[in-house]
Structure 1
Amino acid sequence: MLSIVVEQPHRMAVRERADPSPAAGEVRVRVRLAGICGSDLHIFHGKNPFATYPRVIGHEFAGHIDAVGAGVSADRIGERVVVDPVIRCGQCHACRIGRHNVCQRLQVIGVHRDGGFSQFACVPADNAYAVPAGMPTASAAVIETFAVAANATHRTGVLPTDVALIYGAGPVGLNLLQVLKGVYGVRTFITDHVDERLALARGCGAEEDEVINTAREPLARALARRGVAGGPTLIFDAVCHPAILEEAVALAAPAGRIGVLGFSATPSALPQQALTSKELTLYASRLNCAMFPTVIDWITRGRVDPGRIVTHQIPFRDVADAFALSESQPRACCKVLLDLSEDA
């Protein structure tokens, strides 16, 4: 089989490797499409603290099961599936209380073990979820990104009276927008400094007055002009620049909640007085916690449409070009998928 291997930071190649065989309790997935995530770029650049090398990256992928290991029904062969990359130990404190996405011995497919940028990938059978008939493979391939948004909104909760604000109209921010608008029906503002990303936000359900280009208008003034008295009650930081969290604390309404997605090694200077005086709650959110069935249900019922964020499908042999596009052309692309079909 062919696999995209990050051999060491800044060095990546398509390599011929032996076809894997599924172990007991595993299935082998013939990968069709795999999404490029910011964390894949971080691994390539040596900036992901959890990755080891060499590594086949990719944690967003869909395909079909073509082989099963011992203990897995052969009836699953041929099943179209999407893979949840979160693998837990099931024994630590986090797992025992149902928070297996922060398992003490967490493994993430594509980070701690080889992932989906390969023609074949072996994964635990329980991590391979059946894709409903009629769902495009491109939509299935980005279910993981919607599961991240589902986890974040599950952590913070969403009230019918909430006024929400999302920092960043990248894939995660746009997915949060679809969830907040399509599932919960709350008024949601989204910010970015790239007009093309804000155009995608309109396509994901944002009203014209709900998109704010912060390169042209200070956020506090923009919200006030739109009648958000007292500040948003629910804020999501999908950018994770330290200054954003500081601003979010200043903007949030009393009793507001702030969800933080992603990693930044640079600390934020949060004013304790603002946190305490407004009794704000900060929710960190990592990966997803058993959210794939929820997202599949949302898609089936037409509450969200993953295909809205997919802008490119590129043959996997052109992975270097795909990475360059993802990284340097935010005006031209959003979610880029690698096509791992046999003729790609």
Structure 2
Amino acid sequence: MKSITIQQPGTLVIEERPQIKPQPGEVRIRVTSAGICGSDIHIYRGHNPFAKYPRVIGHEFFGQIDATGEGVDASRIGERVVGDPVVSCGHCYPCSVGRPNVCTQLQVIGVHRDGGFSEYVTLPAKNAYVVPDSIPDNEATMVEPFTIAANICNQMNPGPLDTALIYGAGPMGLTTIQVLRGVYGVKEILVADRIDERLAMAQANGAHRIINNANRELKAELEASGIRPTLIIDAACHPSILPEAISLASPAARIGIMGFSSDPCVLNQQSITSKELTIYSSRLNSKRFPQVISWMAEQKIRPEKLITHQFAYTQVTEAMEIFEKDQQRCCKVLLKF
């Protein structure tokens, strides 16, 4: 089988590997398409501290089950499925309280174990979720990115009374816009980014108002409009954002962090406690796949709006370069196998 492998940071190859077999409790998926994520680029560039090399990357993938391991019903062969990359132990404290995404023995497909940038991938049968025929292949490939937005929103409990501010109009920010508006009915969604073309994408995905904070001071813009966000989501994850979000937030607001930077930031405890703010962090997803699949089936979210490029997997180097460098026009890139 052909697999896209990062042999070491900066070295990507398409190589022939022996066909894999599903282990007991697993299924094998014949991959149809896979999405490129920023974390794939980080592994390629050597910036992901969790990755071990060599590694077949890719954690956003869709295909059909073509083989089952011992203990898995063979009737599952032929199912159209998406794979949840979160592989957890099921018995540690986080798992026991419904947070397998931070399992003490967490393995992420495409990071800790080989992923979906391959003609075939294996994973636990419970991690392969059936996709109804009403959802096209390309859109099914987008389930995993939307689970990231679903995870943070599940924690923050948005609603029609909220005024939301989202930092960053990349894929994480855009999926979150769609979920806030299409699922939770948030009345006003503001998006701040430093690239006009990204802001246009935000508007096309449901943002009510956009602000280029490269040349306009965000605080002044909000104060001039009398806006105090009640829900702030950091989908850009620069260390300067959280202190600013705390200062902009309404009393009793919630702030969510969708990623991380290893650089430190300085917070003022008084500004947090005086407003009784709640700060959430979110990593990956905690079994949000069924939720997102149902949203897609009901057309509450529109994943096709985010897909800007498609390539054959043999063009992966070109695809990753466009994803990494063309932030004006590129959002989600799919590889076809």
Smaller-chain TM-score bracket: over 0.9
Residue of structure 2 aligned with 1:320, choices 309, 313, 317: 317
Counterpart Cα distance in 1 of 2:330 and 2:300:
23
Query: Which letter maps to 1:329?
Result: D
Q: CA deviation at 1:258?
A: 0.5
Question: Residue 141 in 1 paired to residue 129 in 2?
Answer: no
Q: Which residue does the alignment assign to 1:7?
A: 7
SS in 1 for 2:190: strand
Q: Distance in 1 between matches of 2:197 and 2:159?
A: 30
Q: CA deviation at 1:96?
A: 0.9
Structure 1 residues 153-210: Cα deviation after superposition (integer angstroms, max 9, x where no partner):
1111113311111000000000000000111111111111111111111221123xx1
Instruction: Give, in angstroms, the shift of residue 104 of structure 1.
Output: 0.3
CA contact (8 A) 2:134 2:297 kept: no
Q: Secondary structure at the match of 1:242?
A: coil
**AA at the equivalent of 1:112:** H
Give the deviation of 1:93 after TM superposition: 0.7
Counterpart CA distance in 1 for 2:161 and 2:242 is 23
Correspondence 1:289-300 to 2 at 5 A: 289-300=286-297
Contact 2:159 2:185 in 1 (8 A): no
Q: Is the 8 A contact 2:312 2:335 kept in 1?
A: yes
Aligned to 1:226: 225
Per the alignment, residue 112 of structure 1 pairs with: 112
Matches within 5 A, 1:53-72: 53-72=53-72
Q: Tell me the equivalent position of 2:85.
A: 85
Aligned to 2:215: 216
**C-alpha distance in 2, partners of 1:48/1:190?**
27
**1:246 has 2:243 as partner:** yes
What is the CA-CA distance between 1:225 and the residue it aligns to?
Answer: 3.5
1:186-335 aligned at under 5 Å gives the runs 186=186, 187-207=188-208, 210-228=209-227, 231-335=228-332
User: Post-superposition shift, 1:255?
Assistant: 1.1
Structure-2 separation of matches of 1:153 and 1:134: 25
Unaligned runs of 5+ in 2: none
Deviation at 1:134, TM superposition (A): 2.2
Any stretches of 5+ residues in structure 1 without a counterpart? none
Partner deviation per Cα, 1:39-94 (whole Å, 9 max, x = no partner): 11111111111110000000000011111111111111111111110011011111
Q: Give the counterpart letter for 1:191 in structure 2.
A: A
Provide the rounded CA distance (Å) in 1 between the counterparts of 2:235 and 2:102.
19
Q: Secondary structure at the match of 2:240?
A: helix
The one-letter amino acid of 2:195's match is V
Q: Deviations over 1:233-286 (max 9, x none)?
A: 100000110001111011111111100011210011111111111111110000
AA paired with 2:101? N
Q: How far, CA to CA, are the matches of 1:69 and 1:2 in structure 2? A: 21
**How many Å separate the matches in 1 of 2:169 and 2:221?**
17
Give distance in 2, aligned partners of 1:305 and 1:160: 20
Q: Return the letter of the residue paired with 2:141.
A: A
Mapped to 1, the partners of 2:223 and 2:139 lie a distance apart of 36
Counterpart residue identity of residue 220, structure 1: K
Q: Give, in whole Å, the separation in 1 of the partners of 2:155 and 2:85.
A: 19
- Which TM-score applies when normalising by structure 2? 0.98
The structural deviation recorded for 1:216 is 2.9
Rounded to whole Å, the distance in 1 between the matches of 2:236 and 2:302 is 22
In structure 2, what is the Cα distance between the partners aligned to 1:79 and 1:90? 25
Please give the residue correspondences for 1:33-52 in structure 2 after superposition, counting only pairs within 5 Å.
33-52=33-52
Partners of 2:152 and 2:258 within 8 A in 1:
yes
- Alignment of 1:32 onto 2:39: no
How many angstroms apart in 2 are the aligned matches of 1:263 and 1:19?
Answer: 36
| Separation in structure 1 between the aligned mates of residue 237 and residue 172 of structure 2, nearest angstrom | 11
1:260 counterpart letter in structure 2: I
Identical-residue share of aligned pairs (%): 54
- Counterparts of 2:158 and 2:55 in 1: how far apart (Å)? 38
RMSD over aligned Cα, in angstroms? Answer: 1.0
Q: Aligned partner of 2:273: which letter? A: T
